[in-house]
Chains A and B, each alone.
Chain A
């Protein structure tokens, strides 16, 4: 009975992640820099910076992914972003006219959303931005959320801007609802989804978590193959050692 129970626990592990588009390949540039314009935000710039950095921290801790995320300051406006007139992407902006984007009812339940996500013909993300609900009198204005909830919301929207869609797993960061979650915590489902878009290849460089971020699919960045050579050398030395031993002491 115990074995059956154990097998049921193991077999119940299911994946629920999706992507925002068909055959998304992620951003080509590395690191991925989120440009933040704190203008019109209902919270202070320093607090917003802390929140963005905490959200970034969650996405930078994925062992099996090459993804590296950073923050930079921007002065691009919401209208410029919505008109498609910026190269500072992905971008995070505070939108005082959020109801125009999500509707009169949505402005009271949606604290942030990701807009204008676009890809090139190879599936690489080329345009995306996060608008934070800063509408006056809106029920879901980020000023009414706790710092942890804004952090969680922003980390979720960053997931969209990086290429992830919603997950069917209710505990996942990419589930549509915050639920009882209190911090930006990536579950294994979130990890699996982001690793699919930004897989790591340490056989081609960037050993043991070091920074070398490469996009071999697009032929960018110099590839260093010494980790593979080292493993190969160990294999050959082991085989030679065993061969010598076997020839002297045949089993």
Chain B
């Protein structure tokens, strides 16, 4: 434990400006996952990969500013590929050091959902026979403001572990939603 702490302390001194690539995992709809009946957890909440490019900029001796752009991977798609969904984040996060090796993250952001469909009819079961339904032939964009908070562990002069929670719809009990992300970052 001492060795790990020593390593982290030494690594933290090297927090400085740079461009980082973060790769990790992203779990959606945490609240719904905990409230879902048994067997439906993975239907109301899904796990995806998460890739992000993040800039670290120093605003003072301690305060850092980390604008970032990330996307969930792979992009979700229909079985026949005629519907695709892209989820991206633009975050303007501020960071403050709790210790040389540990930084607190907090800031606003925007989640952009882009849904694209090719359009056309789909034959699906309706209980007694089949009915014709449709995938839309237009793209749909949804922009949701998010509040992001988390911790960054500076493991090395170039490597960090980032644990974050994204909140959206925070002012509305029904629409409130939380996603979490865990990424490993490399400074380029």
Q: Which residues of A contact B (CB under 8 A)?
A: 9-11, 13-24, 57, 60-65, 102-103, 105-106, 109-110, 165-169, 171-172, 176-177, 182-183, 185-189, 192, 195-197, 199-204, 207-211, 227, 230-231, 234-235, 238, 241-242, 245-246, 249, 251
Contact = CB atoms under 8 A, between A and B. Distances in A.
B60 A245 contact: yes
Contacts of B43: 169, 171-172, 187-189
Contact of A64 (B119, B131, B144): B144
A63 B128 contact: no
Nearest to A105: B128
B143 A109 contact: no
B70 interface: no
Nearest to B64: A242
B2 interface: no
A167 B168 CA distance: 26
Given A23-B138, A192-B115, A208-B170, A15 B83 contact: yes
The 8 closest A-B pairs by CB, nearest first: A209-B172, A165-B133, A209-B169, A18-B133, A199-B142, A209-B175, A187-B43, A241-B59
B171 A209 contact: yes
B137 A23 contact: yes
B150 interface: no
Given A15-B85, A176-B126, A61 B175 contact: yes
B29 interface: yes
Interface of B: 16-17, 28-29, 36-37, 40, 43-49, 57-60, 63, 65, 67, 74, 76-79, 83-85, 92, 94, 107-108, 110-111, 113, 115, 117, 119, 121-122, 124-128, 131, 133-138, 140-145, 147, 168-172, 174-177
Given A10-B47, A186-B44, A210-B172, A203 B143 contact: yes
B122 A238 contact: no
Contact of B122 (A13, A18, A231): A18
Given A176-B127, A209-B168, 11 more contacts: A10-B47, A16-B78, A166-B124, A168-B124, A189-B43, A195-B142, A207-B171, A209-B169, A209-B171, A209-B174, A234-B107
Contacts of B83: 15, 17
Contacts of B121: 22
A10 B144 contact: no
Given A18-B134, A187-B44, A207-B145, A242 B59 contact: yes
A235 B92 contact: yes
Contacts of B92: 231, 234-235, 238
Nearest to A208: B171
A231 B108 CA distance: 8
A196 B84 CA distance: 11
